[in-house]
Structure 1
């Protein structure tokens, strides 16, 4: 889960959803999310043209990275993943575990936030999570692994914030800023294909590990719910750029960072709902004019599931952007001017 591409499980989920949305003589259209789609109609020629124009209008703002820059990020995350596996093995051996058993423990780097969603811009940081088995303590991470990172020639500005609400190690790894969280699972081993969306893994975990897992779990949940990922990415990139240039990004509950322990920059159920249709450019315009009597959600709440921020009623905002105690942002209807 280093890159921003959906997993095989998510791709299968999207294909299943797409097949269920057939409107030509097949079974009834499957409802995606808690509310029905704006439209199930195929895009018209002018819709596709406007989507291409919207994508082109984003190019001058450096919101897309080149393939070389994307590969560089992948190489950095691969190095981090190797460091984690080696560190878990060494710490386990130092605790008198046989080396043959320590080899099998694993450990893994997961990503979340804008990078995992595939909507990060040039030079953006990477939000990542180090997942370790139960024999690794949090103190091991913030002491021995912190020292391992400091010794790497590619790492600069390495610092730990252990007492934060969501404890994190911040660093610059070969030119890319990385915020690396830590979660210790109550499992003997961490396989490479382990899925963090399983609610059962939250049992018997400390609060800091649960908060650290939140970002990855919410990101993967959104990727699984959005039937058209490319439209979702284009809409989200556009909204983020619009909010940034309007100097309101920091006030958007929609983009509240996971450093604070909330769902984070990846939570945008309104976009995921609008992307159940095929039209790309109209998603953004539709959201800005959206009026909902009740907050929208991409999925019904379930026990032990991290909450996803909602888009509040635009009609109640009276031209201002605010958020309530539950971080539900109110976005006024407006026009798009970058």
Structure 2
């Protein structure tokens, strides 16, 4: 009996000593986050948000609608206005140009002025597009193609993508003609292992270190064949167009996309080496990058 009483006393003592301590973790002042991709031939668009604390369970980032944002060129300055619908700053009267250096200034109340520079790279057209072969590998069709272009002198960075555009034309229940467009990315990988990236299957991102200032032939293998389909194989009311895109991108674009894609690829792997995503925003977070895009329609049916 004494043993049972002793055991009950010990259990009571342990539960009686249980203490719940609430700890208030201080939330530091959030950083200003700037995200913008300056595209030649388009108007500027800048997204401003506050960064989130690592323990913040709020899914959305808080937009910053009351900042003063300006786009500055070597000869002019343009204010960027906030759009409530898109939650971005922009100016539709401005059309960005290649080889121009742009400065974006961001003044948020209670924060120091942020200033970041970016030069839009030179547009590089696809000189020649060649379908080398269409074949089957492990039961999967694929195309082997060549994308040939002249690389300008100097350090340059590129991104190659491709997509399929499907247009559906049909009559609705009231007899009205409707047109619906759908975009499907095409999986790509470089044939040369030097340019292959395991963490990306939709894009080929590379620099000109091995062919600076020369004509270059990027040999690409696609996931699926898009040059062995005849028009008669498509149902009525459906048309298909195939596009290949060669982007001249800035160094900041190259570094950000490389590190961001690698971080996503290793996400969830506890043994993967941490990846620091590139940022060029001093005094804040985010990225200002740029591109000049050449798009080529290579097939349609």
| TM interval, short-chain normalised | under 0.3
Q: TM-score, normalised by structure 2?
A: 0.25
- Which has a greater percent of helix? 1
